[in-house]
Each structure stands twice: as structure tokens, then as C-alpha cells.
Structure 1
């Protein structure tokens, strides 16, 4: 098991552009993050996707993270937990707004319908324009 000082040195190296350091972080923590996500999701495929998304998000934020006395694993678990929650929220909204369900008028659905109707009319001529 990697000690926290070494893990944070890899984070700092990755922030400085060392892609091998980020690769070492991935190798060290991917299994732990995948197990965390898998226990909280309904499918292995979703767990794999969210695990990958965790590391993508970590890479994007690598230059801004600071060692606050917590393990690197805690930072990665926090990212994974937020992705799980985001996924659950979007899945609930999608289910509530389904055209086959009577609860289409649930909060948040109007905005989704408005956005989707706007995107479906792009490229069509307007009846008012006469074109």
C-alpha cells in the first residue's frame, strides 16, 4: 500500500505535467475506486464508466487540489461519490420526464422539454417566416 506522502508527491508531479505519475495514481487507486462505485451502482458497466469519469475529473482538477492532511484516496472517493450522486439525479429526472409516464410535469421537466423542443426545431423553417 502506498503511503500518503508518496501519493501526494505523485499528485504534485502529475500537476507539473508528469503523465507517468498520474498513471501510477491510476494503477494504485483504480481498483479501490471501482469497488467503491460498484457497491453503489446497479451495473458493472456503469461502475466502470463512473470509475473512468472519476479519473478524468481528477486529471482536470489535478492542478488545483491541495494536500489538506487527508489521503489522496479521500479526494478520489469524493469525486466518485459526486459522480454517483450526479448520475442518480439525472436518472431520476429522466424517469420523471419520460413521455410514457404521467408525471411529465414534474419539476425540471419543463426545462428539459423546452430545451429538447428547441433542439428539434433547429434547421426547420419557421411557419411565420414563410420559408
Structure 2
């Protein structure tokens, strides 16, 4: 058992100066100082992370990340700006909050994906009826067009012909076909009540 442990099994409070010195020595690459810093502060860091995350496994993982970051960035610690314990706990809090945000974002992403992938039941009878009604509306609107516009639109949309092919088939100039198609579409929109 560590020297800093008292009868309760809890680490005794280490002085702020001692932790500062351990963190400064860690910045210089002293593995022993880092080991002692870890022993002295891990329970507090883990406790803070666990309160934020609740999940023990994630709290352990984030605590490891905190100490890895502490080892890698110890040189950034400035005792004039605050105590080592506060520096470590700030790292811990930031990492824990980042994990909460990450987990939340992943859940949201999974939920959106799940919703997107859910097959929505379709009433095929109602859908077929709707399509039939729409076809009747379009047929009625087409009947109200002039025969020249109706013929060009039918060849384009039902026959699948291009404007050039329609012009050749009907023996008309291309510009005439384009005008009939444009005017026919404008009139159809009016008749069907389509606004753009």
C-alpha cells in the first residue's frame, strides 16, 4: 500500500506544492514523478469523470486519456496560473464533457440513421388511387390544350422523344416545337393549379 494511504483506504491529501513539483518533474520526463502524481490524483480525477459520465467503463477510459494527455502536455502547466490538481481536474472535466457530447452526437446520428432505414408502411391501395386521380387530372388538362401543343407534349413525355426528334417526326422547325412545348407546359401548370 502507498505511503500516502491512511487507515480509511483513501489517499491522504497531498500538498498542492508537492503535486506542482511532481507535475513539473513529469514535464521534464521523470517517470517516477508521473507515477507518483498518478497515484496521488487518480482517485480524484476518476471521481470527477465518473460523476460526469456515470458509466464506469467510460470513466476509466477517459481517466486514462486524461493521464496520457497530462504526460504529453505537462510542460504546459504553469504553477503561477494555478495548482497541479486544478490543472488535472480541468483536463478531466473537459475530456468527460467531450465524451458526453461525442456519445450524444453518436446517438443522434444513430437515431437519424435508424429513422431513415425504417420501412414506413405504405397503403398501396390509397397510393394507387391517388396516382389514378392525378392521371385523370393530367388527361383532363391535356384535353383542354390545343391539338398542336397536346401532340408535342404527348410525344415528349409519353413517347420519350427529344425536341429535335419531335421536330423531325412532325416536319416542324425546332423553334416551333420548343415554343409549343413551353406554352403547353405553362397552360398545363395553370390548369392543374401548380405554382412554382
TM-score after normalising by structure 1 = 0.72
Alignment RMSD: 1.3
Indicate the structure (1 or 2) with the bigger Cα radius of gyration: 2
When you count helix as a share of all residues, which structure comes out higher? 2
* Aligned mates of 1:69, 1:95 — CA distance in 2: 38
1:57 and 2:69 correspond: yes
Partner of 2:102: 90
Partner of 2:21: 9
Question: Secondary structure at the residue paired with 2:91?
Answer: helix
How far is 1:69 from its partner?
Answer: 4.8
* Aligned mates of 2:84, 2:16 — CA distance in 1: 7
How far is 1:73 from its partner?
Answer: 1.2
1:31 and 2:31 correspond: no
How far is 1:93 from its partner?
Answer: 1.4
Partner of 1:100: 114
Q: How many residues align?
A: 102
Partner of 1:43: 55
How far is 1:75 from its partner?
Answer: 0.7
Partner of 1:80: 92
Q: Higher relative contact order by CA 8 Å / sep ≥ 6: 1 or 2?
A: 1
Would you identify which runs of 4 or more consecutive aligned residues in structure 1 move more than 4 Å? none
Give structure 1 stretches of 5+ with no counterpart.
103-131
TM-score after normalising by structure 2 = 0.49
* Aligned mates of 1:84, 1:23 — CA distance in 2: 22
* Aligned mates of 1:2, 1:54 — CA distance in 2: 19
